[in-house]
Amino acid sequence: MPSTASPVSPPAPVIRVLPAPADLPEPLPEPAVRDLRLETVLGALSDPLRLRIVRKLLLESEHFDHSCGWFGLDRPKSSLTHHFKALREAGVTRQRQYGLERRSHVRVADLDARFPGLVELVAAWEPAED
């Protein structure tokens, strides 16, 4: 980071702009909680790759959003965009733009409110082996 312009000593009391809860980027368009539809959510979760994404978010990230690359999915970028968009538009995940990265997390509270037990189901899922 460039200095604020302090020629001499410890400069101005620079406010450290961490990604604090207050000034997160706006979430991308998503359905409101009351518009969540069970059939749509189940449809979004009926794909193994998307199930894997959501489960990984649930199990391996409590507090952070994660960009596409974090998942280590071996698919072309446009495929990933497709699936992340499907999850977001169904209301399963929320996405925010951090600079270039678009990070996702699961809307756990919203899903719990509307479909109690669903999140646990996904977290407990075990992918087909082979």
Give me the residues that bind DNA (CB under 7 A), please. Answer: 43, 46-47, 49, 67-69, 75-86, 95, 99-103
Q: Work out which of 13, 128, 129, 130 binds a copy of itself, going by CB under 8 A.
A: 128
| Residues between 4 and 63 with contacts to a copy of itself, criterion CB under 8 A | 37-40, 42-43, 45-48, 51
Task: Tell me whether residue 3 or residue 46 sits nearer to a copy of itself (CB atom).
Answer: 46
50 in Cβ contact with 85 (< 8 Å): no
Minimum gap (Å) between residue 87 Cβ and DNA: 10
Minimum gap (Å) between residue 49 Cβ and DNA: 6
Minimum gap (Å) between residue 121 Cβ and a copy of itself: 6
Minimum gap (Å) between residue 81 Cβ and a copy of itself: 21
- The neighbouring-strand residues paired with 93 are 106
* Nearest alpha-carbon partner for 115 in 33, 30, 31: 33
Instruction: Based on the shown chain and the rule CB under 8 A, indicate whether residue 130 belongs to the binding site for a copy of itself.
Output: no
* Nearest alpha-carbon partner for 44 in 75, 94, 83, 76: 83
| Residues between 71 and 90 with contacts to a copy of itself, criterion CB under 8 A | none
Instruction: Based on the shown chain and the rule CB under 8 A, indicate whether residue 70 belongs to the binding site for a copy of itself.
Output: no
- The neighbouring-strand residues paired with 104 are 66, 95
Distances (CA, A) of 109 to 8, 9, 115, 119, 120: 49, 47, 10, 9, 12
97 in Cβ contact with 67 (< 8 Å): no
